[in-house]
Amino acid sequence: MSKDNREDIHELEFMFLSLIPKKIKVGIIGGGRAAAIKTASFLERGCNVEVLAKDFVDSFENFNEVELIVGSYQSDFIKDKHIIVIAIDDEKVVKEIISQCEEQAKIFINAGNYRHGNAAMSIQDSLGNINFALNTKGGNPKASLMIKEEIKNNLKEYDEFIGFINKLRSKAKEFNEYKQEIISFIATEDYKFMWEKRKEKECLLLFFEEELVHRLFN
């Protein structure tokens, strides 16, 4: 690997953005294995997915809640979509799609070379109260999968606590004067320690009015 290539890898940064899947329309162009993998990922998260291709691999038969369109790419296909996935090999058509995506300010993933898109798929997982995603800076999904379980195991000790303080946070919004103070207080390792000792209410009573604390817990 050349020095320039190494520098390019380290210069590439990702930004994470949480989307509401049921409100997201995804258009996938291509019917091969890469397109099928992307289709499965978006369907699993609850997105609305349409796939356009001249033909489809057999695995598409396993998908429900997806619209399969047989045909060649036309620019109208991307107009009503939030996210576009390009999963074809025809370089001329790929360049055309990229140009049109950029003109229309679309989020688009190039399955053939993620550097020629403006987005990449993250490895995702969840617990009862925590969702998380990760990428490696070099665009190495296998490495992300390798460390996903380690991260998930580390988050397990926080999951129940996060669920508990989520409920307190929701109730704290009723107290305009103390809302931010309460929210900042409960989202700490110190308060987690008291929760683990089953002293979560007593701890709050040391710092906040009794009536307020009782209302938080009722």
Residue 31 covered by a domain = yes
Q: What is the pLDDT of residues 163-209, one digit of tens each?
A: 999 999 999 999 989 999 999 999 999 999 999 999 999 999 999 99
Q: What is the pLDDT of residues 30-40, one digit of tens each?
A: 999 999 999 99
On whether both 114 and 156 belong to a single domain, the answer is no
pLDDT of amino acid 13: 80
Residue 208 covered by a domain = yes
138-174 CB burial, b ≥16 within 10 A, e <16: eeeeeebeeebeeeeeebeeeeebbebbeebbeebee
The CA dihedral of 205, 211, 213, 217, to the nearest 10 degrees, is 140
CA 16, 107, 89, 91 torsion-angle sign: negative
On whether both 113 and 156 belong to a single domain, the answer is no
First-to-last alpha carbon distance for the chain, in angstroms, is 62
On whether both 117 and 158 belong to a single domain, the answer is no
In total, the chain counts a number of residues equal to 218
Structural domains of the chain, count? 2
On whether both 159 and 113 belong to a single domain, the answer is no
Residue 50's domain comprises 21-121
Average pLDDT on 42-51 reads: 96
| CA 192/CA 160 separation, integer angstroms | 10
Share of residues in the chain with pLDDT > 70 (%): 94
Average pLDDT on 117-135 reads: 93
pLDDT of amino acid 11: 56
Residue 81 covered by a domain = yes
CATH number of the domain enclosing 95: 3.40.50.720
| CA 54/CA 62 separation, integer angstroms | 18
Residue 115 has pLDDT above 80, yes or no: yes
On whether both 29 and 111 belong to a single domain, the answer is yes
On whether both 111 and 32 belong to a single domain, the answer is yes
- 3-class SS of residue 14: coil
Which residue, of 121, 140, 167, is where some domain finishes?
121
Residue 61 covered by a domain = yes
Whether the pTM exceeds 0.85: the reply is no
Residue 7 has pLDDT above 50, yes or no: no
Q: What is the pLDDT of residues 133-154, one digit of tens each?
A: 998 887 788 888 999 999 999 9
